[in-house]
């Protein structure tokens, strides 16, 4: 039975220079970057030589992260590394849907560019941020949010790690309150209060935007952030509503494991998802593709066809 899953990383993992070695070494990665560069000029420069401040802006981070994660996944599959299921964290879910051919051609990238614009605009109209709360249960975090107000638990990442979104003032109060009961709140590198009601404007805009796209049934099961279950035929509503609803990441991984998954490859920038999965279940295998060496190692472990990358 197939036990391998690709998980696609989300916003907050971006860093200057990301993907440059893989772009230089792998033709399949170069192909994706060059196609996306034609659609959105400047994507390569932002990934490979841009500064952190520019890259951290939602309007830039999302297209760049999508391009890298999609390119890695496509290159792996070309070399015979085939997953049986997919999942992505927030933005990464769109990467997973595009890889599963829900979007045709490069429409997934075009949509992500529009998604980034809608979310950045909503962040301007309803300013806020996000912080990861550590060492507290989800019930404790929920109680603090209710007590302080203007805060929303939005990412249920793993045991004793919940991300909260809300206003800057409320997040500052959360940091003090969490520390007073043995927790810790760490600000995230994002420019908005994603997955909270502060993104309602973006959700409505994305629902209209999606009417211009043809969405096909996924060729592989894609687990949805909102439900922790595979996507159904109601893709437009799910994709649009994802931005203002919580990410049920821990439950998603637990459900995948219940379905027989034992091996996870994180495709994209950073290794955040590998860390979260390891905290959810220490008995599964994780690896992150971040350079040519790790790419070749994935092929040695999981390729079902002759290896081409090392010829």
Active-site residue numbers? 90, 195
Q: Rounded distance, CA 3 to CA 305, Å?
A: 16
Q: DSSP characters for 217-234? A: --SS-EE-TTTSSB--S-
Q: Rounded distance, CA 72 to CA 155, Å?
A: 25
Q: DSSP characters for 160-179? A: TEEEEEE-HHHHHHHHHHHH
- Which of 14, 32, 7 has the alpha carbon at shortest distance from 22? 32
Q: How many residues are there in the chain?
A: 311
Give me Rg for the CA atoms of the chain.
19
Distances (CA, A) of 92 to 1, 27, 66, 170: 25, 22, 7, 27
Q: Which helix (H) or strand (E) holds 131?
A: strand 129-134
Return the structure tokens found at 274.
Answer: 């590998």
Backbone angles phi, psi at 19, to 5 degrees: 85, -5
What angle, rounded to 10 degrees, do the helices at 91-99 and 58-78 form? Answer: 30
Distances (CA, A) of 272 to 187, 266, 275, 277: 15, 9, 5, 9
Q: Rounded distance, CA 46 to CA 223, Å?
A: 30
């Amino acid at each position: 039975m197939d036990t391998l899953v690709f998980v696609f990383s989300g916003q907050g993992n971006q860093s200057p220079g990301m993907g440059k070695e893989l772009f230089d070494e792998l033709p399949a990665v170069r192909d994706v970057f060059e196609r996306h560069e034609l659609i959105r000029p400047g994507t390569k420069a932002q990934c490979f030589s841009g500064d952190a401040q520019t890259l951290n802006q939602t309007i830039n981070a999302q297209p760049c992260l999508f391009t890298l994660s999609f390119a890695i996944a496509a290159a792996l599959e070309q070399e015979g590394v085939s997953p049986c299921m997919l999942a992505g964290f927030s933005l990464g879910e769109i990467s997973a849907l595009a890889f599963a051919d829900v979007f045709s051609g490069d429409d997934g990238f075009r949509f992500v560019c529009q998604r980034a614009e809608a979310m950045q605009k909503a962040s301007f109209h309803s300013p806020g941020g996000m912080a990861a709360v550590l060492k507290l249960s989800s019930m404790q975090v929920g109680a603090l949010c209710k007590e302080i107000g203007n805060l929303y638990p939005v990412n249920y990442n793993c045991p004793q790690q919940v991300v909260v979104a809300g206003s800057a003032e409320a997040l500052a109060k959360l940091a003090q309150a969490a520390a007073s009961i043995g927790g810790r709140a760490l600000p995230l590198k994002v420019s908005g209060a994603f997955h909270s009601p502060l993104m309602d404007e973006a959700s409505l805009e994305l629902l209209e935007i999606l009417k211009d796209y043809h969405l096909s049934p996924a060729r592989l099961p894609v687990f949805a952030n909102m439900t922790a279950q595979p996507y159904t035929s109601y893709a437009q509503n799910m994709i649009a509503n994802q931005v203002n609803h919580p990410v049920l990441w821990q439950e998603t991984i637990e459900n995948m494991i219940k379905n027989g998954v034992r091996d996870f490859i994180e495709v994209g920038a950073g290794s955040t998802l590998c860390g979260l999965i390891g905290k959810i279940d220490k008995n599964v295998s994780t690896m992150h593709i971040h350079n040519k060496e790790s790419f070749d190692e994935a092929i040695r472990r999981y390729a079902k066809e002759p290896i081409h990358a090392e010829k």
